[in-house]
Amino acid sequence: MKTILLTGAGGGVGTFMRAELKGRYKLRLSDRSPLAECGPDEEFVQADLTDMDATRKAVAGVDGIIHLGGYSVEADWDTIHTANFIGTYNLYEAARLEGAKRVIFASSNHAVGFHERTNTIDHTTAPRPDSRYGLSKAFGESLSSLYADKYGVESMCIRIGNVGTEPIDVRRMSIWLSPRDLAQLVCIGLDHPDIKYEIVYGMSDNARSWWDNSNATRLGYKPQDKSEDFAEQILATKTSDTGNLIGDLKQGGDFVTFEAVDDPFKPGLK
């Protein structure tokens, strides 16, 4: 089996991936804090990705990397810069130095969150980040492109919607991603022989989606789960997402409206 480094292994998505990938790869688990225990075909390497020496030790000898590590919501600049900019750079530089040839980068829908929900966007759509967090994911996509073109570190960037066992509100019916569908995308990213640099959307079979995921389909992705199976129970109690007009028009939801002025083009607004 391939040996795969899973960063952010102690987080919610990392926990899902450990279960879904069990028996398929030898997993080297990494996080800033120790994990309770490791299962068969698992080992743990404690590493803070802002520490290059520790990151290189975690990466050394692996065949590929699933990069989930970092700060997963909006925060102040210092927090996002340290965890998501410096940490992601160190991860890719360590991959180059240690000879790891394939990285799966957990990007986010928030890299394109300022696009309108009425627009169907695909993998060629330019980023419109809705937050410092979204900006860090757009940076990670560009960094992945640089390392693929210049250094031969192959990457698949997954613009993840929302990972969970089921969608929990109206917005998430459009962006939901089940753990087993994410695992399928990750395996394609790790094992497909012809990937150099790709962007795909992390979504299940969602009838209400704003995304054209034909690039993932081209690579062999066939999602198994449908958000529409949960529509009746969600719509029975919820009709909108944020209750804010702008937030409900944009793909990023309340990430768009957090700290935002009411109208950035309003005359006389400083």
Instruction: List active site positions.
Output: 133
| Closest residue by Cα to residue 30 from 19, 44, 18, 42 | 44
253: left (phi over 0), alpha (psi -120 to 50) or beta: left
CB neighbourhood size of 238 (10 A): 13
CA dist 260 and 45 (Å) reads 40
Question: Please, where are the H alpha helices in the chain?
Answer: 12-20, 52-59, 77-80, 87-98, 132-151, 170-175, 179-191, 214-218, 231-235, 245-249, 254-257
The amino acid at residue 105 is F
Q: What one-character DSSP code corresponds to residue 75?
A: -
The amino acid at residue 20 is E
The amino acid at residue 209 is S
Local structure of 5: helix, strand or coil: strand
